[in-house]
Amino acid sequence: MKVSAIQMDVAFNDPDKNRDRISKLIEEAVESSKPGTIVLPEMWNVSFFPDNMSATADEEGHDTQSFLSKLARKYQINIVGGSVAVKKDGGYYNTSYSFDREGTLVHAYDKVHLFSPADEHTVFESGNKLGIFELDGVTIGVATCYDLRFVEWIRMMALKEVEILFVPAAWPHPRSEVWQALLKARAIENQFFVVGVNSVGKTDQLSFCGHSTIYDPLGQVLAGSGEDELILTADLDLSQLRTVRDDIGVFRDRRPDLYK
């Protein structure tokens, strides 16, 4: 599966501007790299996160779904749609929508671990389900930003046969090294591919650290970035996942009977 990750400078509280930018970046990614799957960062409609959610959160996710579905169909690509601020069920959610090449919504994932240091839990409701689905016959997992820190959560995805973990993020300085270390660790310990796609740029409160990176199941970098807006692409050879697991049989050798 050829994957392009869009590391983007998300405009604060301006969904229209962000949709325009994403249209251009997806067109550019398709023309330059011809990926099968494109992934976007966390909260790309409004950034992380404005205090007047009622003005800009996407009502039931309708605008986002119609926008991403059209792009997926137009370019015949899968889109793992990062995440957006959504108003639904009487609350706000940090929701990730994913689409197949026909533009069909295949999965919606509500961020489970809300980032309490930024009071995300006081504004948003949390989800309660794993983000797992299939694209082109490949088992995909999605975990949003802070979810990455929760090793048990990510391990559950590996145990459910996830082959590629996508991590859309709005991860700020001064924790760039933490972001990179956790992405790499999750790839090595779970022996799957990890695609971390972060934001860049600033809000009044935060400066996002970029360094979106695609890791193979050994934790080797297939594509990396700095702190500029850019598209990074890698071709993931999924047979590597089997080879790595045959060589070092972590899933054969683990002792869940003792992990209580």
Ligand X SMILES: NC(=O)CCC(=O)C(=O)O
Binding site for ligand X (CB under 6 A): 42, 48, 115, 145-146, 149, 170-172, 175, 178
Distance in Å, CB of 44 to ligand X, minimum: 12
What beta strand segments (E) does the chain contain?
Answer: 2-9, 37-39, 58-59, 78-80, 84-88, 91-99, 105-110, 132-135, 138-142, 164-168, 193-197, 199-202, 207-209, 213-215, 221-223, 230-235
Does the annotation count 209 as an active-site position? no
Which residue's entry shows tokens 């790299």? 33
Q: How many CB atoms lie within 10 A of CB 2?
A: 14
Nearer to ligand X, 42 or 100 (CB): 42
Which one, 34 or 175, has the nearer CB to ligand X? 175
Least CB distance to ligand X at residue 241 (A) = 26
- Number of other residues whose CB lies within 10 A of the CB of residue 218: 14
Q: 47: alpha, beta or left, given left = phi > 0 and alpha = psi -120 to 50?
A: left
- Shortest Cβ 218–ligand X spacing (Å): 24
Told to judge if 145 belongs to the known catalytic residues of this protein, a careful annotator would answer yes
Query: CB of residue 109 vs ligand X: minimum separation in angstroms?
Result: 14
Q: Which is nearer to ligand X, 15 or 172 (CB)?
A: 172
Q: What are phi and psi of 149, to 5 degrees?
A: -75, -10
Residue in 120, 145, 184, 209 annotated catalytic:
145
Among 2, 17, 31, 42, which one carries the catalytic annotation? 42
Which of the following is catalytic: 34, 59, 88, 111? 111
Q: Which structure tokens are listed for 74? A: 């137009």
Specify the residue, 178 or 250, whose C-beta has the smaller distance to ligand X: 178
Catalytic, 111? Answer yes
Nearer to ligand X, 39 or 170 (CB): 170
Element (H, E) at 173: none
Q: Which residue in the block uniquely carries the two structure tokens 């966390």?
A: 42
Q: Indicate which residues carry an active-site annotation.
A: 42, 111, 145
